[in-house]
């Protein structure tokens, strides 16, 4: 908008939720926009043409009044329809500059924030992954565990498919790489060799190297700040004290030195899949078949112990492998032993795999690695968490296998399960009798409660995959209530609470 009152750009976001006053006039609550304003309001402009005119007119007036460009907060009163400025302060950082031309090539969901620039490397399948070089922007339909080594080199990642909890999103956040998922036509609109800028804050891929000024200003701001001798110590001093413990998620063992001094109470989810893909590189049953089981035990123990040692005596909750069949097939020897499933997301995974004759020996190697960490290295802060549990009976069977490998549940060795299947919700108290803790896997739980594929960009955009849905919140409360009743630990390791503060508040309450 310039002084002739012409609107030069519009960005209309989809608005699924709104905050309204409670009926008694005290406090507010969050409601669905469609329930109050109707379905059309979700994608409609928030301001009417008349309200926009008023905003422009008052904005120019306050700028003239104070003699400088202003940063304002404003609102329209629902009852009186009057416009009010709530706050106004001068912007002192504006400079005369040549306007940068931004050419949008494709859009998607911002999954790992940041801005990255580089040449596009279009990868159609895993056979081409070796083409990725340092500083490239990886563009593909969807990533898989075999692509992680290449992703480490990338300045950015863009995928056609996926939502904010898909493989590309999770790994990129772990590696702190800008990532956009669900871009639909990225593999068609972006060509190998193109120079692009991945704006994973807004979810847009631009032509050329742009937006440099934003990063330059950020760097200048950071460098001009006070020099702090021990920033980690200050973090702990100024971090708020919470009655609810704060655990973090971790996948890549090599990153623990970077995060170990954060004000956290432990690690509530360590994904072992990174160790399999980066340190072991082969399917467990291939290693069993070729007599290389000790390699897996040693490498897995090495990765786990690195993290456990760094945060000792804080708890490290290690989730045993939760590869799906399509992901396991990508490991060396995996294509010989893994079936092809139509829907791997709800297929042969988690505990059902551990108790199967086709994989039991592989799971025993995982148990041996954890026993080595606890007994040989003395890192007794390691807790085991079992993923994708479906029935109490299979839980009893897998605990029996663990006991045979020397991992006997006791006050000194605790066993948790992921609460991510609706069956666990419906039998929460029965499961609570068998374990020492629940960790709510809200990504899979939301997917299964809502019947919404977590990797579907379409359903993510339509709002179906949302942990704040009432049905999901009922499931969350049921699990928490059962844990409290039976006196066991209950945590959450899904994406929701870090994205929606109101969900974190709901969980704590």
Residues involved in catalysis:
167, 493
Taking residue 250's Cβ as centre, other Cβ atoms within 10 Å add up to 22
Distance CA 435, CA 384 (A): 11
Q: List residues bridging with 332 in a β-sheet.
A: 282
Which of 262, 271, 352, 278 lies closest to 314 in space, CA to CA?
A: 262
CB of 281 within 8 A of CB of 335? no
Sheet strands (E) in 4-94: 17-21, 28-32, 70-76, 83-90
Token pair recorded at residue 291 = 């007599």
Distance CA 185, CA 140 (A): 10
The answer for 298, left when phi > 0, alpha when psi is -120 to 50, beta otherwise, is alpha
Three-state secondary-structure class, residue 268: strand
Distance CA 116, CA 63 (A): 35
Distance CA 172, CA 179 (A): 6
Taking residue 201's Cβ as centre, other Cβ atoms within 10 Å add up to 14
Question: Residue 147 gets which letter from DSSP?
Answer: G
293-311 vs 360-371: helix crossing angle, rounded to 10: 40
CA-CA distances (angstroms) from residue 156 to 104, 150, 191, 204, 209?
A: 16, 11, 15, 12, 13
Distance CA 291, CA 282 (A): 12
Close Cβ partners of 400 (under 8 Å, ≥ 6 residues apart): none
Task: Give 236: exposed, middle or buried? Use CB within 10 Å, 0-12, 13-18, 19+.
Answer: exposed
Residues 372, 376, 379, 381, CA torsion sign: positive
CA-CA distances (angstroms) from residue 440 to 78, 360, 385?
A: 39, 25, 11
Q: List residues bridging with 250 in a β-sheet.
A: 270
Counting Cα atoms < 13 Å in the Cβ hemisphere of 456 gives 17
Residues 442, 448, 449, 450, CA torsion sign: positive
């Amino acid at each position: 908008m310039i002084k002739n009152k012409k609107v030069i750009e519009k960005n209309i976001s989809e608005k699924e939720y709104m905050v309204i006053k409670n009926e008694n006039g005290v406090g507010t609550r969050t409601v669905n926009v469609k329930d109050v304003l109707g379905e059309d309001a979700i994608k409609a402009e928030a301001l009417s043409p008349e309200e926009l005119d008023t905003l422009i007119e008052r904005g120019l007036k306050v700028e003239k009044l104070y003699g400088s460009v202003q940063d304002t907060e404003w609102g329209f009163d629902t009852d009186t329809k009057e416009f009010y400025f709530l706050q106004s302060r001068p912007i002192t950082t504006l400079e005369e500059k040549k306007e940068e031309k931004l050419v949008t090539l494709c859009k998607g969901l911002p999954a790992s924030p940041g801005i990255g620039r580089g040449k596009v490397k279009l990868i159609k399948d895993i056979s081409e992954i070796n083409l990725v070089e340092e500083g490239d922007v990886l563009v593909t339909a969807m990533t898989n565990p075999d692509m992680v080594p290449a992703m480490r080199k990338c300045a950015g990642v863009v995928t056609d498919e996926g939502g904010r909890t898909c493989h590309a999103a999770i790994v990129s956040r772990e590696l702190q790489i800008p990532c956009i998922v669900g871009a639909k036509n990225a593999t068609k609109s972006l060509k190998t060799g193109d120079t692009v800028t991945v704006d994973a804050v807004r979810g847009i891929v631009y032509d050329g190297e742009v937006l440099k000024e934003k990063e330059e200003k950020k760097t200048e701001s950071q460098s001009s700040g006070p020099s702090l001798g021990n920033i980690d110590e200050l973090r702990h001093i100024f971090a708020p004290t919470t009655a609810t413990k704060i655990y973090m998620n971790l996948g890549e063992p090599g990153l623990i030195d970077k995060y170990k001094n954060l004000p956290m109470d432990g690690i509530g989810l360590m994904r072992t899949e990174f160790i399999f893909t980066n340190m072991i590189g082969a399917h467990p049953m291939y290693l069993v078949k070729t007599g290389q089981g000790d390699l897996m035990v040693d490498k897995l123990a090495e990765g786990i112990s690195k993290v456990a040692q760094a945060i000792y005596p804080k708890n490290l909750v290690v989730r045993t492998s939760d590869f799906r069949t399509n992901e396991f097939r990508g490991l060396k020897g995996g294509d010989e032993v893994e079936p092809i499933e139509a829907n791997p997301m709800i297929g042969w995974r988690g505990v059902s795999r551990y108790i199967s004759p086709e994989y039991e020996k592989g799971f025993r190697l995982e148990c041996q690695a954890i026993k080595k960490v606890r007994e040989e290295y003395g890192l007794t802060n390691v807790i085991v968490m079992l993923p994708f549990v479906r029935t109490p009976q299979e839980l009893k069977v897998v605990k029996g296998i663990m006991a045979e490998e020397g991992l006997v549940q006791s006050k000194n060795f605790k066993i948790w399960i992921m609460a991510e299947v609706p069956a666990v919700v419906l039998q929460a108290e029965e499961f609570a009798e068998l374990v020492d803790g629940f960790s709510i896997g809200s990504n899979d739980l939301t997917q299964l409660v809502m019947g919404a594929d977590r990797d579907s960009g379409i359903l993510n955009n339509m709002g179906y995959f949302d942990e704040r849905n009432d049905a999901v919140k009922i499931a969350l409360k049921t699990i928490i209530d059962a844990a409290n009743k039976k006196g066991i630990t209950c945590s959450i390791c899904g994406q929701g609470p870090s994205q929606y503060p109101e969900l974190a508040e709901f969980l704590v309450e």
